[in-house]
């Protein structure tokens, strides 16, 4: 698992043997998965367990702001 960055107590990670489509996981006190799409406006929450709405909004904003970094992290492990 490669940690891309942190948002509060959550690590934003890419798992090396994961499935498509491109996505990142927020791992901390709970777990959430966000599909990346091709641009920041396409980021969407696809799974969550134990993450507050406040944290989900904060995590989503940061993933959108760092979308290019998230896609680059995905591509390092999975290609295009």
Please, what is the end-to-end C-alpha distance for the chain in angstroms? 18
User: Does the model's pTM come out above 0.75?
Assistant: yes
Task: Give the model's pLDDT for residue 38.
Answer: 95
Half-sphere exposure of residue 28, counting CA atoms within 13 Å on the CB side? 15
Residues whose CB falls within 8 Å of the CB of residue 58, separated by 6 or more in sequence, listed in order: 7, 8
What distance in Å separates the CA atoms of residue 6 and residue 27, rounded to the nearest whole number? Answer: 9
Average pLDDT (4-20) is: 96
Strands of the sheet with 10-14, listed across from one edge: 2-7, 10-14, 23-27, 31-35, 44-49
Task: Give the model's pLDDT for residue 79.
Answer: 83
pLDDT in tens, 15-71: 998 999 999 999 999 999 999 999 999 999 999 999 999 999 999 999 999 999 999
The answer to whether residue 80 scores a pLDDT higher than 90 is no
């Amino acid at each position: 698992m490669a940690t891309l960055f942190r948002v509060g107590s959550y690590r934003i990670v890419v798992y090396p043997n994961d499935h498509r489509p491109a996505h990142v996981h927020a791992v901390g006190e709970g777990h959430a998965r966000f599909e990346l799409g091709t641009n920041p406006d396409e980021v969407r929450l696809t799974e969550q367990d134990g993450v507050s709405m406040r944290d989900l909004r904060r995590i989503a904003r940061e993933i959108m702001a760092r979308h290019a970094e998230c896609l680059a992290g995905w591509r390092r492990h999975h290609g295009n």
